[in-house]
Structure 1
């Protein structure tokens, strides 16, 4: 089978397509024929070497967290999902730091990390949603407790999590204010943002007060965005691989967990089942910036690093023969 891997840390050019054996599922696992995956920020950080402390073994290393495909075989003790089921899920980062990730024709995954994919999404759409969708649901509903009529500020609204949060926030009946690059503001409004501003030119003090601030961009100045909270407002920060994560954690100790929450998603079946329900209802829909073939996965990494689009870069994996 074919799999995208890298044999050293570096720029997107280190990614190559290797011919490797099809893995075998162990107890509690399933073998999935991958239809599509997508590129997340964590994939870029891992490939560049910024997450080398997570690597479990030596090179080569795989890439790709999101899985959308079909179960081929099950390991001992697995009855759900079953062969032939269309599934989606998110591989743990420790798995991706091994020799295979989701950017491969086949992947082995724990059954507990997969759920049946929504029937209203095709494989490309399904691959765009698991990681960012579960993160958006957890951020807005579990940690943010967002309700209809509340004011939501999304920083980094053009990214994967940010665009999903704009869509979900609008569906929940919140007033959504989005911060993104000036060139994509119309597209962000099209996702459901009531207001959209260029993050480089807007003065935070002119934005007003918010019931929930979702920060997906990281960087400096988290205290500035925290200062926009209303009396009962909350801030949720998602920057697990940047220096801002440390600042977010420190800020939470100062302002208390009720006001500031930092988290890094690790979705299981229950989270994916909840995401499926939102997708079926239409509360969340995939936002796809571009689709790339597996042998051009380096282009997907380059595009995400360069920015400029809205949503996810999906990698279509051609089904293996035989």
Structure 2
């Protein structure tokens, strides 16, 4: 039976406080899988530094020197979580039979990685890590996250509920996923589109071990908007519906004004005029902004700029020497 080469891809951004804990915890999981014979000794941990401003890359580089299970990639600047993860996936697919992605903050339960591998060995191409509950989240984050999943469902996109980017992808699934070449790649939406045999593993998410969250409210909102506009044109159609309803209301209001004029009662109220102006103005600005969001995505796509640039590549399974400034489109 062919040995399974597993890569655990870990995007990192300013994670110096938690890196050592993350490294030791993931290494223990990987060495345990190797000792059980579930994965090959060629398996590895792949840390992707997304342009960190602290000592994260220094720690990754140091780990690659004394531990043959560790590889690292350094991006030339901060490209964002999704693109950093994509960089790791594109690198790992070249020498791995399956890849597990997990964040460096240790909030995702690493003990279920063994179950991920067992599901893969039983024939599943995609294994989703799904949170069984969200008790560690604030009320605001929990309610907005649930609202986002419901909204995406109404937009026609079937996301895996309470799943982030903790998942296993087989080489075949990953190869097909990487054929999606859009610049704004929303991985949580793309993976369910692949259609391969999939399953879920449930776990309880823990509190962050150290450091600060890299997803404040502004980033979460931007991420949600990116996901919605990347997979659905329904917001544009919603604007059309609003315009249609506004036209009907305007016709009704116009008829009312004519009736009032014929009755001789044409005095208009200042408050109603101002409220109407503000309402229509707000709807127009919102509509223009939403349309602009779509146009902006088209603008980014047609330029075909690289999604990320690799500054240093310390992947052992690929090459012995680092590669400088490698561009990926």
Which TM-score applies when normalising by structure 2?
0.24
Which protein has the bigger helix share? Answer: 2
Which protein has the bigger strand share? Answer: 1
